[in-house]
């Protein structure tokens, strides 16, 4: 199997730009994922973030995310992944630069009208509401009656495998089930863009793998564009059509790696040579980001 790793851009002077790698064998066309090509669902243009205590969390971050991409933001703790995601979601203001939504209708707050779903690391469910009530909430906030959207909510619960738990309360669910409710709640408004901030970090490995497969199934079925924050090389290599590797202090993207779209991912992919090689290359990029030298090549 041919796996091309073709750095098409490398600059080391102060005007640093991300290294572009194309590991996609389906298109083998790095321009397909090069920043600036085609219309984006969202673009960060020269975004910097300095917190009031002086911490420079992000500097000059420019990222284009195009329709249907599954983008992972991978980087060490503190490199600004959550800050970037929160700024995209309008939960934080950039200190410089802008976030743009070329394909969306923009509301008075400069945000796309109902186009973004956010899944936090904690499921953040309302304990006094049933599973149905939690997933119904975003529609309720839009003024939609329960009876009008009952089918929409139940369909979403069926999609995440929780149709039989509509009347259960969060305290009756496992951690993985709570996270499924959180994902259903983020998707029930049918957003164009789904943002997930390390959603499975607190779960055991088997549950995490199962939820990875569920997220991919939802991505395939709904056509939603995804930005997925993770610490895990293996998770990013399994899930993504593109991995953006971030560097810390200050946070910025240092490698932009195009992969084949994750249309067919299963247990056999996890033990395939292609997956192993992808993990190795993504891992190398992460080591570079952390200024660590590889001890061994192989």
Ligand X SMILES: Nc1ncnc2c1ncn2[C@@H]1O[C@H](COP(=O)(O)OP(=O)(O)OP(=O)(O)O)[C@@H](O)[C@H]1O
Please give the residue ranges that form the binding site for ligand X (CB under 6 A).
51, 53, 55, 57, 75, 77-83, 231, 251
Closest by Cα among 198, 165, 197 to 181: 165
Q: Which residues bind Mg ion (CB under 5 A)?
A: 82
CB of 35 to Mg ion, least distance (A): 23
Of 49 and 185, CB closest to ligand X: 49
Q: Say whether 152 sits in a helix, a strand or coil.
A: helix
171 CB neighbour count, 10 Å cutoff: 8
Instruction: Choose from ligand X, Mg ion, none: what does 274 bind? Cβ within 5-8 Å by kind.
Output: none
208 makes contact, choosing from ligand X, Mg ion, none, with CB < 5 to 8 Å by partner type, with none
Distance in Å, CB of 122 to ligand X, minimum: 12
CA atoms within 13 A on the CB side of 89: 21
Is the CB of 131 or the CB of 233 nearer to ligand X?
233
Pick between residue 82 and residue 189 the one whose CB is nearest to ligand X: 82
CB nearer ligand X, residue 25 or residue 96: 96
For 180-211, give one letter per residue: b (16+ CB within 10 A) or e.
Answer: bbbbbbbbbbebbbbbbbbbbeebeeebbbbb
Q: Report the run of H or E that residue 42 belongs to, with start and end.
A: strand 42-50
Q: How far is the CB of 95 from ligand X (least distance, A)?
A: 12
User: How far apart are the C-alpha atoms of 63 and 123, rounded to whole Å?
Assistant: 27
User: In whole angstroms, what is the distance from residue 193 CA to residue 87 CA?
Assistant: 14
Measured from the CB atom, is 122 or 213 closer to Mg ion? 122
| Distance of closest approach, residue 243 Cβ to ligand X, in angstroms | 15
Q: How far is 212 from 262, CA to CA, in rounded Å?
A: 11
Task: Give the nearest distance from C-beta 122 to Mg ion in angstroms.
Answer: 12
């Amino acid at each position: 199997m041919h796996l091309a790793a073709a750095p098409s851009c490398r600059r080391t002077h102060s005007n640093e730009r991300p290294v572009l790698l194309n590991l996609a064998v389906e298109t083998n066309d790095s321009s397909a994922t090069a920043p600036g090509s085609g219309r984006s669902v969202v673009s960060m243009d020269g975004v910097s973030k300095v917190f009031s205590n002086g911490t420079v969390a992000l500097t000059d971050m420019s990222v284009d995310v195009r329709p249907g991409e599954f983008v992972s933001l991978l980087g060490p703790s503190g490199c600004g992944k959550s800050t970037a995601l929160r700024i995209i979601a309008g939960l934080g203001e950039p200190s410089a630069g802008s976030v743009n939504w070329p394909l969306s209708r923009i509301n008075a707050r400069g945000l796309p009208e109902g186009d973004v779903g956010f899944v936090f690391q904690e499921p953040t469910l309302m304990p006094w509401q049933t599973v149905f009530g939690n997933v119904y909430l975003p529609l309720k906030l839009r003024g939609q009656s329960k009876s009008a959207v009952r089918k929409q909510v139940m369909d979403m619960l069926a999609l995440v495998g929780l149709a039989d738990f509509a009347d259960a309360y969060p305290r009756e669910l496992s951690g993985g089930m709570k996270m499924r409710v959180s994902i259903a709640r983020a998707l029930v408004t049918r957003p164009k863009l789904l943002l997930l901030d390390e959603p499975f970090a607190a779960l055991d490995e088997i549950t995490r793998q199962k939820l990875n497969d569920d997220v991919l199934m939802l991505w395939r079925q709904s056509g939603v564009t995804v930005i997925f924050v993770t610490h895990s090389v293996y998770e990013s290599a399994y899930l993504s059509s593109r991995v953006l590797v971030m560097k810390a202090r200050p946070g910025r993207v240092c490698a932009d790696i195009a992969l084949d779209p994750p249309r067919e991912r299963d247990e056999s992919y996890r033990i395939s040579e292609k997956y192993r090689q992808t993990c190795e290359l993504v891992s190398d990029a992460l080591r570079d980001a952390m200024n660590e030298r590889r001890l061994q090549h192989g």
